[in-house]
């Protein structure tokens, strides 16, 4: 009895589960890497499949992060359109209003300052066979604009050396450079329009007019920058950051990724909600969100000013109606993520900057951009998107759900077979019968039969339509009521069939009875592995050869079972004896009952998907 208890303990404790789970996770991570999603932390995979909210950056995720100047407004000569292909510095600047004189000095100064302010440039890639940004895409677009007008950034800097720079700060929302021009110091400011208008020397009525033009640009989905200048003496001091001369607006287009709309539809079908977080102003953000489909009628847009006024609890109460967050800083991102967590939502968030590290860590799933992302953001993330593509997130979530489903299949198989063995022995003892299976035979079933089949079940191909409909997960445990119910429908036939066969033989030949019980339990497990391939689809609807490893493992364990029954050496240690053809037919017929029971349950499940066992 002590030996049997020890053997049962070995059977009940799924010592192979950690190995199989690691195998499932590693295989899933490998498949995700092939789809441009680099998983840094294995434990993130579970969150990946259960994400309910995806908070995405606009730039680089929803859009391509290829900044191209498309429209210009200058104070003196009104509107211009800029033609050209991507970052190619060749293109035309055409007036759309009054026929302005391109040689005008103020207009030349506007383009010259666009080139002088840029810390990036454009280069031609022979490998890609196109012009690419070298550095920050926004500043590369400014350099490209200046070059289209004939101002090469590198040549300009030799003639007009840079003396001082105030780098862009997301709080201040401006970038200032000071260059020596004609023996004078010229400060160039490139800023958010509302910031430069406050710092300019224009009268209020003109500022109001310019603000309306800015809003019109933004309503077309353009990122708008304002350019201005002032002459200074010596170095620029904080007290000098005022009274700039306003020169004009630059409307920069960031092309929406063509796959973004499709990925959004797939995410919504999967029961996930996509929200967009951007540093752009409200109008630009709304235009992009509408074009992609993130913003829908009745949704709300929250800005940084509104978020500042809300507590975390108040923000959490509003989140159900909000689909766009505009003018957001990393601190606001962190507050948004905490608010979603306060609601109990599992949230995935994308980020690329150094300051995005705290919200990336705070999110259930931090997703960093592989191309434009900083090393700090990548280090803080759980997953890195190698192609910075929103569609890749959805693909990775599909794989995450598959991993979660596969782990459940393996757990169901291991626990149901162990449960069947325990019920068989417990039932026999309750009926005052001898032990129907010996300790050595339990070890054989646990290590040989289970050992092959659970690994092959872990390699089950991905189920179809995992992104169709909501993905339900128990809040606390992997085992839910449906899984427990399935274990009973699998374990009870194992108990009844095994005890019935043992009872029929043990008074005639005990060794034969042990052999019959061992074999019928083994065949029960073979059939059960095929049962566990899908929770609702019939075993006869599944593609028989889709999991070749499971098919091969079934053949292997069958051959090993023959060895255990007919090979004298194995007969000695496992206490078995040879079986006749009739006995094999009896065993297969009895063991087939587990398929019948499970098929009935699956039929009921298909008729009523909400039924819980």
Active site residues: 57
According to DSSP, the residues that pair with 250 across neighbouring strands are 72, 225
Torsion of CA 223, 228, 234, 240, to 10 degrees: -90
Q: Which of 508, 484, 521, 520 is nearest to 612 (CA)?
A: 484
Distances (CA, A) of 69 to 77, 114, 221, 252, 322: 17, 11, 12, 4, 30
3-state secondary structure 553-593: HHHHHHHHHHHHHHCHHHHHHHCCCCCCHHHHHHHHHHHCH
DSSP-derived secondary structure for 413-447:
HHHHHHHHHHHHHHHHHHTTPPPSS-HHHHHHIII
Ranges of beta strands (E only) in 42-173 are 53-57, 63-74, 78-82, 93-95, 121-125, 130-134, 162-166
Cβ atoms of residues 74 and 80 within 8 Å: yes
Cβ atoms of residues 56 and 390 within 8 Å: yes
Q: Which residues contact 81 (CB under 8 A, 6 or more apart)?
A: 70, 71, 72, 93, 94, 96
According to DSSP, the residues that pair with 303 across neighbouring strands are 326
Q: Left (φ > 0), alpha (ψ -120 to 50) or beta: where does 227 sit?
A: beta
Q: Which of 269, 270, 266, 287 is nearest to 278 (CA)?
A: 287
Query: How many C-beta atoms lie closer than 10 Å to residue 427's C-beta?
Result: 17
3-state secondary structure 380-400: HCCEEECCCCHHHHHHHHHHH
């Amino acid at each position: 009895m002590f030996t049997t208890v020890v053997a049962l303990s070995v059977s009940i404790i799924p010592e192979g589960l950690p190995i199989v789970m690691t195998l499932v996770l590693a295989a899933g991570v490998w498949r995700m890497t092939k789809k441009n999603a680099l998983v840094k932390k294995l434990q993130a995979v579970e969150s990946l499949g259960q994400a309910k909210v995806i908070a995405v950056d606009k730039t680089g995720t929803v859009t391509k992060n290829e900044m191209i100047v498309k429209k210009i407004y200058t104070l003196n000569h009104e509107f211009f359109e800029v033609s050209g292909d991507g970052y190619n510095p060749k293109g035309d600047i055409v007036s759309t209003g009054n026929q302005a004189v391109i040689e005008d000095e103020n207009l030349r100064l506007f383009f010259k300052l666009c080139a002088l302010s840029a810390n990036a440039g454009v280069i031609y890639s022979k490998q890609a066979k196109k012009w690419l940004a070298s550095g920050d895409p926004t500043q590369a677009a400014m350099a490209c604009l200046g070059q289209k007008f004939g101002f090469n950034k590198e040549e300009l800097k030799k003639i007009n050396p840079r003396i001082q720079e105030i780098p862009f700060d997301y709080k201040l929302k401006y970038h200032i450079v000071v260059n020596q021009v004609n023996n004078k110091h010229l400060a160039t400011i490139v800023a958010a329009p509302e910031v430069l208008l406050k710092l300019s020397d224009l009268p209020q009525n003109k500022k109001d007019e310019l603000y309306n033009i800015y809003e019109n640009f933004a309503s077309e989905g353009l990122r708008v920058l304002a350019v201005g200048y002032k002459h200074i003496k010596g170095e620029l001091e904080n007290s000098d950051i005022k009274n700039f001369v306003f020169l004009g607006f630059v409307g920069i287009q960031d092309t929406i990724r063509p796959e973004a709309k499709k990925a959004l539809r797939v995410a919504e079908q999967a029961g996930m909600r996509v929200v967009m977080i951007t540093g752009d102003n409200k109008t630009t953000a709304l235009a992009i969100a509408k074009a992609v489909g993130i913003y829908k009628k009745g949704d709300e847009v929250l800005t940084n000013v509104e978020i500042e006024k809300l507590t975390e609890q108040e923000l959490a109460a509003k989140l159900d109606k909000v689909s766009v967050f505009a003018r957001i800083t990393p601190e606001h991102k962190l507050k948004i993520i905490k608010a979603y967590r306060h609601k109990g939502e599992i949230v995935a968030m994308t980020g690329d900057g150094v300051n995005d590290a705290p919200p990336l860590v705070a999110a259930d799933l931090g997703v960093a951009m592989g191309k434009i992302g900083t090393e700090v953001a990548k280090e803080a993330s759980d997953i890195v998107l190698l192609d910075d593509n929103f569609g890749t997130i959805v693909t990775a979530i599909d794989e995450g759900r598959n991993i979660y489903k596969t782990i459940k299949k393996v757990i169901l198989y291991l626990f149901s077979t162990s449960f069947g063995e325990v019920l068989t022995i417990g039932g026999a003892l309750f009926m005052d019968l001898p032990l129907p299976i010996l300790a050595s035979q339990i070890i054989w079933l646990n290590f040989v039969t289970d050992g092959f089949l659970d690994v092959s079940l872990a390699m089950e191909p991905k189920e179809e339509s995992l992104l169709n409909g909501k993905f339900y997960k128990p809040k606390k445990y992997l085992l839910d009521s449906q899984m427990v119910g399935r274990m009973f429908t699998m374990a009870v036939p194992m108990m009844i069939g095994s005890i019935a066969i043992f009872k029929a033989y043990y008074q005639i030949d005990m060794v034969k009875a042990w052999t019959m019980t061992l074999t019928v339990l083994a065949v029960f497990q073979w059939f059960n592995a095929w049962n566990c391939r899908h929770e609702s689809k019939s075993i006869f609807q599944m593609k028989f050869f889709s999991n070749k490893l499971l098919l091969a493992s079934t053949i292997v364990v069958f051959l090993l079972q023959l060895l255990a029954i007919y090979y004298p050496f194995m007969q000695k240690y496992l206490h078995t004896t040879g079986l006749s053809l009739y006995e094999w037919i009896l065993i297969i017929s009895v063991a087939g009952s587990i398929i019948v029971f499970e098929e009935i349950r699956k039929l009921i499940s298909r008729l009523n998907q909400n039924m819980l066992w």
